[in-house]
Every structure is written in structure tokens, then in C-alpha cells.
Amino acid sequence: MTPDIVITGAGVVSAIGCGKTDTLAALRAGRSGIAPIRYLDTPLKEYPVGEVPLSDAEIAALTGAPVQWPRTTLLAIPALQEALAQAGLRDGQDMMLISGTTVGGMDRTEKSFPQYSRDHSCGSSTDLAALFIGGFDDATTLSTACSSAANAVIFGANLLRSGRYKRVVVGGSESLSSYHLHGFHSLMILDREPCRPFDATRAGLNLGEGAAFLVLETADSAAERGAKPLARLSGFGNACDAFHQTASSADGEGAFLAMSKALQMAGLLPSDIDYVNAHGTGTPNNDASESAALRRIFGADLPPVSSTKAFTGHTTSASGSIEAVFCLLALQHGFLPPQLHFSTPDPSCIVPCHSGLSATPRHILSNAFGFGGNDTSLIFSVYE
């Protein structure tokens, strides 16, 4: 028997705000957080980014965490605290923490490389956050590139389905680093302008940073302790594109399979989906590939689609959970995040919803596609 899985708490930090209140205001106002680099120490200053507009010291001061800790950890802590507080939980007791990251503590290591790299596993940034919050049974780190946080949601859901846990905390955290900024630069997929997902003039992505966590629990567990669910996790799917290490296939096979699996698990038809939060990085390749997959799923009846990476930049390993929180806000407050920076349709791409819409979405599909062809789709539905 598969238990219903609900979300009882959510927390987020990104370029558009610290916490859900600021985030909601920015989403509704169409206010992007993409701007020139302010804090990251790097020679590549020509690239705009979705930087959390706080220094390490300022982020640390929000929670009292040690300022020497990696920025990835410093960003995770307020997001974790917000999620736990909303769920009415004091700490991590009786729960496991599953967090996705790639950068981990690299922002610190690159300042002293190579002296600390020997022992600096990226799992340590998760363990520090778990330690600060306290009480967790266990913590683990998933690292599947840009689908990490979304896969953390799946892993957490599987822990609930198997009866291993009644409640888990899932999500991801990623800070900017010169290391991966240089890397994306070497792949020539960064845009020197703010990104334009699905637009004919799109020229690449902007990197971003942030953290978001969800408290997932079985519906029974929530009812037992009187916690109010925000939404249901009604379906999910992970599949491999099996095409190339960093590019996506022309027909979006991996994306198509992931979305199909999620719909099947949720027992929904494509026509039941009211909004798609696309992966939509703004690269010529992803947006065309994802569009092909969306067209294969939805045919001529495409629901409103937008990529909120025009608000936050591509937050890589944290994007799956940050964008999940945006979807939860959309479900709760009855609106659809608009596509920013869109002006010219591209025949090889879908046309995103580019004016602010009020709506009452009931089912939202969220995509997160990672290097290695690791494609994940999540479906969130209203709780009633």
C-alpha cells in the first residue's frame, strides 16, 4: 500500500529573497534577482548571476552559524529552519536529512586549494547543516548535478513509501564558486546577458545559488500530530536520457520518460496539469530538447509553462527544491510565475506564459534535468 505523501513545511533562500514571504512578493511582482556579481571572488565578472544578495557574514548572522562554514551550509540553515518551523518541528528528531549539492564546501577549498581538498568531501556541507539543526537520525548527500534536489525529494518519498520513516527533510543547497563558474564558461553555455528561456535569442544560462528544503511526511503522520499539509507530492519520475554527458537529446527522450512516469504514478492525464515549471535554463540545447519532450507529452494542449530561472538563475543542485517551493507557493496562493525576459518566440520551442496570471492551479509539474542525462519530474497537487 502506498501512503499519501504530503509536504508540511517549506523553506527557501535564493536571489529573490530569504524566506517564502519575500520570495512570493518577488514572484508576483516579476522581480528578477539576476545581477552583476557582487560577492563571489572570481576573475569572470562579465557574467550576471543569481547571487543571494548577502555576504557570508550576513548569511551566517541570520542564524548564528559559524562564518567559516561553507556558504552552501550557511544558505541551507535558514531554509531548513523555515521548513521545520512551518511544520511545527523543533529539530531533526526521528527524521533523515537528504540534501543535494555539487559545490559543497568548494567555495572554501578553492581559497586554500589543494591543502584541504584531500578531506573535503561534499557530504560534509550537509553534515554540518544537520549538526547545526540537531536531532537527525541520519543525513545523506545526493549528487546528481542539476537534478540533485529533485532526486532528494524522490529518495525521501521512497523512504516514506517503504515505511522506513514517517517524516523526512529533503532538498538541496548550492553556493556560487569560481570553480564551477569557470567550468560553465569553458562549456560556452553562459550568457553575458540575463537569460531568456525559450526565447529565439537565448544564448545560455546564468548561474545562481540558494537552498530550499521540504518536510515530507505520510498523510497519516501529519494527521496524527495535527500538522497542516501544504500540498501533496502526487507523482515523480526519474529517467536517463542516455545521450551525452552534458547535452540533451533532440527529442528529449529522458525528459519525456521522466514526465510520463510522474504522470502515471499520480494517476493524472496531461490535461490535468495546470502549470509546468520548466527546467528552462536558457541554453539553446536544453530549451529545444525540453520543448520537444513537452510537445510529446502535451501535444497541442500545452498548459502554461514558465522557467523561473529568469528570476533566480540556474541554482544547479538546489534548483529542484527551490523551484518546488515556487510551485508550492503557486498552489497555495493561486498564481502562476510568469516567464520573464521573453519577447521572441522560437519555432523549435514552446511559447511560455509571459504575462502574470492569476489562476487556481490544482496540479503542477516541475522539471529538473542534470548533466549525465539525469532527468527528474515531480508533481505537486492541492491537498484536500
Partner 1 sequence: MDQLITELKLKVIDALNLEGMTPEDMDDNAPLFGDEGLGLDSIDVLELIVLLEKNYGIRLKTPAEGKEVFKSIAVMADYVAANRTK
Partner 2 sequence: MKHVTIPSGASLPELYRQWAGDYPKFFKMDTLSKLGFLLTEMLVAGEEGRFTPREDRAVLVFSREGCLANDRHYAASMADFPSPALFVYTLPNIVTGEIAIRNKYAGETSAFLMDGLNQSLLWDTVRQSFQDPVTQSAIVAWINCPSDTEWEAQAWLIERNDLM
Residue 185 Cβ vs partner 1, minimum distance, rounded to whole Å? 10
Q: Can residue 279 be called a binding residue for partner 2 (CB under 8 A)?
A: no
Q: Is 182 in the site for partner 2 (CB under 8 A)?
A: yes
Grid coordinates belonging to 98 = 537528504
Q: Which of 120, 180, 279, 363 is catalytic?
A: 279
Q: How far apart are CA 365 and CA 233, in angstroms?
A: 10
Within 8 A by CB and 6+ apart from 51, the residues are 15, 33, 35, 37, 38, 39, 40, 176, 208, 209, 313
Using the rule CB under 8 A, which residue among 257, 310, 325, 349 binds partner 2? 257
Ranges assigned E (strand) in the chain = 5-14, 17-18, 96-100, 138-142, 167-174, 210-218, 231-240, 275-277, 305-306, 335-336, 357-358, 363-370, 374-381
DSSP at 88: T
Interface pick for partner 1 out of 63, 246, 260, 332 (rule CB under 8 A)? 246
| Contact pick of 67, 194, 332, 371 for partner 2 (by CB under 8 A) | 371
How many residues in the shown chain lie near partner 1 by CB under 8 A? Answer: 7
Whether 120 sits among the annotated catalytic residues: the reply is no
- Selected catalytic residue, list 18, 146, 327, 349: 146
Contact indicator for 182, 44 with CB cutoff of 8 Å: yes
Catalytic residue among 120, 180, 314, 354: 314
What percentage of the chain's residues is helix, strand, coil (to nearest 5)?
Answer: 35, 20, 40
Distances in Å between the alpha carbon of 285 and those of 29, 191, 326, 343, 374? 29, 13, 24, 19, 15
279 is annotated as an active-site residue: yes
Q: Judging by DSSP bridges, how do beta strands 96-100 and 138-142 pair with one another?
A: parallel
Binding residues for partner 2, how many (CB under 8 A)? 51
Instruction: Tell me the closest approach of the beta carbon of residue 239 to partner 2, in angstroms.
Output: 5
Displacement of CA 270 from its chain's centroid (Å)? 22
296 touches, from partner 2, partner 1, none (C-beta below 5 to 8 Å by class) = none
The nearer residue to partner 1, 2 or 186, going by C-beta atoms, is 186
Nearer to partner 1, 30 or 284 (CB): 284
Contacts to partner 2 from residues 152-181, by CB under 8 A: 155, 158-159, 161-162, 164, 178-180
CB of 243 to partner 1, least distance (A): 11
Site for partner 1 in 179-198 (CB under 8 A): 186-188
At its nearest, how many Å lie between partner 1 and the CB of residue 247? 6
Distance, in Å, from the CA atom of 103 to the CA atom of 83, rounded to the nearest integer, reads 22
Which residues are annotated as catalytic?
146, 279, 314
**Where do contacts with partner 1 occur on this chain (CB under 8 A)?**
186-188, 244-247
